Amino acid sequence: MSDASLAPIPRSTLSLQLRRFRQNWLAMLSVVILLAIMAACFLGPYLFPFDGEEANFDAINQGVDFTSIHLFGTDDYGRDLLVRTLEGGRVSLNIGFLGALVAGIIGVLYGAVSGFVGGRIDRVMMRLVEVLYGFPYVILVILLSLLFGGGNVALFAALVFTLWLTPAVIVRGQAQSLARREFVEAARACGMTSRQIILTHIVPNTMSTVIVYSSLLVPEVILSESFLSFLGIGIKEPQASWGNLIQGGTAAMSTDIRLLLLPAGLLATVLFCLNFIADGLRDAFDPNER
């Protein structure tokens, strides 16, 4: 039993799940749109004869004009808005997905162990979470930038540091309930180790919550990044990110809404897609739905 339980899900189940996912037209549509946005962000900028950091002071704040080379116009440095948004997407999608993934994994494992093992270990682990929650975030960020020099390492550390805490608390709650369920008791009776039970029973059963929560973490990571640049770490202008584009667009919102709409619209679209994909995945992998 011990090794078999860690083996991948049998092929037939996986293909069944994939088929079920494919039948969900909304989720499939979302996948297509998301891939299209990613492709545009990663490849799109190469189609233009300039990059997003190239300023042109003779072409400042041009409006939307699909007949010109600047399709969505330029920003206040005369830089092409579309190219900047796409380049920003490359950066933001990277940190967004990676950040959410890492925060999600740490949170799930930490929470699952804490909730399942319970007792004194649970108490200590959860108190540690409280200390980390409570530590002043701004000080932490300043120290990280001192330590890592305000680059991408500091950015990533600052993003992940707090974001894994809430999933950990939620998963720990789920794990507490699951730990007393019949199938877990049965697994224990069969002689499975705690590690095996956590990985095969606890974690998969918290997945539906985790998938949904993580899909919300992606935009949160992308937007927190702009707050961090306010503290001097993270993506620095002239390099674009959706976070700093949206922030800049907000400042100019009442005079030129275009600067806000393009990056914010793309971010919202990505989130919509993630939302439907998360629901689709959840349904497809739901062991109860046959």
Partner 1 sequence: MIRFLTKRAGDGLMTLAALVTLTFFVMRLAPGGPFSSNRKISPDILANVQASYHLDDPLVVQFLHYVWGVVRFDFGPSIRFRDYTVSEILLSGLPYSLTIGFWAVVVATVVGVTLGILGALRRNSLIDYSAGVVAVIGIAVPIFVIAPLMQVYFALTLGWFPVGGWGASWRNLVLPIVALALPNIAYISRLTRAAMIETLRENYVRTARAKGIGRARVIWHHALTGAILPVVAYLGPATAAIITGSIVIETIFALPGIGRHFVDAALNRDYPLVMGITILYGGFLIVFNILADMLRGWLDPRVRNE
Partner 2 sequence: MSITRFSLLAGGWLALATAFGAPAMAQDDTLDRGIGSEWSSMDPHVNFDAAAGFILGDAYEGLVNYQGTKILPGAAESWDVSEDGRTYTFHLRDGLVWSNGDPLVAQDFVNGLFRTLLPETGSERGYYFTSVVQVVGAADIISGDATDASGLGMTAPDDRTVVIQLENPAPHVLNILGGAFSMPPLHSPSVDEYGPGVFIDPAHVVTNGAYLIREVVPQSHVLLERNPLYWDAANVSIPFVKYHVTEDASTELLRYQAGELEVTYDIPLAQMEGLLASDPGEVHITPGVDIVYYSFNLLREPFQDINLRRALTIAIDRETLEGKIVRAGAIPNYSFSGGFDPNYHLPVMDEAAMTQDERNALAQQLYAEAGYGPDNPLTINIVPTVAEESVRRAQGVALMWKQVLGVNAVVEPQERKAWLDAFYAGTWDVFADNLVGDFPGPETFLPYMRPSAEAGYNWVSPDYEAAMDVASAQTVPQERLDALAVAEKILLDDYIVAPIAIIPSRQLVSSRVGGWEDSPVGYHNSQYLTLDQ
Report yes or no: 179 and 120 within 8 Å, Cβ to Cβ.
no
Long-range pairs, 4-12, Cβ under 8 A, ≥24: 5/192, 5/196, 5/200, 6/196, 6/199, 6/200
Those residues whose C-beta lies under 8 Å from the C-beta of residue 22, and which sit 6 or more positions away, are 28
Distances (CA, A) of 200 to 208, 254, 282, 288: 15, 53, 17, 16
**Residue 185 interacts with which of partner 2, partner 1, none, CB < 5 to 8 Å by class:** none
* From candidates 21, 201, 282, 284, binder to partner 1 by CB under 8 A: 282
| CB of 69 or CB of 252, closer to partner 2 | 252
DSSP 234: S
State the Cα–Cα distance between residues 251 and 257, nearest whole angstrom: 10
Query: Taking CB under 8 A as the rule, does residue 117 contact partner 1?
Result: no
Those residues whose C-beta lies under 8 Å from the C-beta of residue 269, and which sit 6 or more positions away, are 33, 37
**Residue 216 interacts with which of partner 2, partner 1, none, CB < 5 to 8 Å by class:** partner 1
| CB of 63 or CB of 238, closer to partner 2 | 238
Give me the residue label for tokens 């946005």: 37
* From candidates 111, 150, 167, 280, binder to partner 2 by CB under 8 A: 150
Report yes or no: 218 and 104 within 8 Å, Cβ to Cβ.
no
Chain residues 18-57 in contact with partner 1, contact rule CB under 8 A: 26
Q: Which residues bind partner 1 (CB under 8 A)?
A: 26, 118-119, 123, 126-127, 130-131, 133-139, 142-143, 146, 165-166, 169-170, 172-174, 176-177, 179-181, 208-209, 211-213, 215-216, 219-220, 223, 246-247, 250, 253-254, 260, 264, 267-268, 270-272, 275-276, 282, 286, 288-289
Q: Which residues bind partner 2 (CB under 8 A)?
A: 55, 57, 60, 76-77, 142, 145-146, 150, 229-232, 236-238, 251-255
